[in-house]
Amino acid sequence: MTESWIAVIHGISGFGVAFSGFLQILLPKEGDLHRYVGRFYIGFWTVVALTSFFIGHVLVLFIGLLGYYMALSGYRFAIRKSLRFSLFDKILSVLALGGSTYVLGYAIYLLFKDNITFGLVALFFGSIFLFSLISEAKKYVLRPPSSNQGSWVPQHFTRMFISYIAAMTAFSAIQNITGIILLDWMLPTIIGSSLIYFYRRQQG
């Protein structure tokens, strides 16, 4: 398969992620339709993650893989309907933690090479995911969650929404939406994180 065909498949799957993710935001959060669209969302994300290895910048690959991790882990919260991690979930979490650590190291390398813009981008996303995944490891990997840690639903919603932010970030960065590299990379995260914050405030 040529690189051009991989790019076409990647683009179609990326559109599938964007469309099905947007539907999930609009649809009621219960019922068969939500579950069916969610499966399509995960399926499209799987193709996007796999094809990301063959195209794009290393930071786009990182955003794709971490976005896919968030989508997959959020989906598995809904399947398990529990905060407890299986062995498979723990392995995924450790791999994602390793990926975040790599990107943080890559950020330092870029900064030393005077590639300030992409160094800051890598530092920004590497730090966010690294601290998030360290917290996740403490809560769910190193010890089982206690029964008073609450519902799995906020974790499901937050992770799926973060995965959608990651998809929009990759799209914004590749398409150069604003014409300002740092803004293209960071604006979706700033907007999306604000929405997640207000959602959590409303949920108490």
Render pLDDT for 54-80 as a digit per residue (tens, 0 to 9).
Answer: 876 788 888 888 899 999 999 998 888
Nearest to 66 by CA among 100, 43, 24, 106: 100
Is pLDDT of 1 > 60? no
* Percent of the chain clearing pLDDT 90 (strictly above): 32
Q: What is the mean pLDDT of residues 126-149?
A: 79
Q: How far apart are CA 102 and CA 94, in angstroms?
A: 12
Dihedral (Cα; 156, 157, 160, 164), 10-degree rounding? -170
Can you give the residue ranges of every domain in the chain? 3-203
Is pLDDT of 2 > 80? no
Instruction: Enumerate residues 6+ apart whose C-beta is below 8 A from 105.
Output: none
What separation in angstroms does the CA of 88 have from each of 26, 84, 161? 31, 11, 22
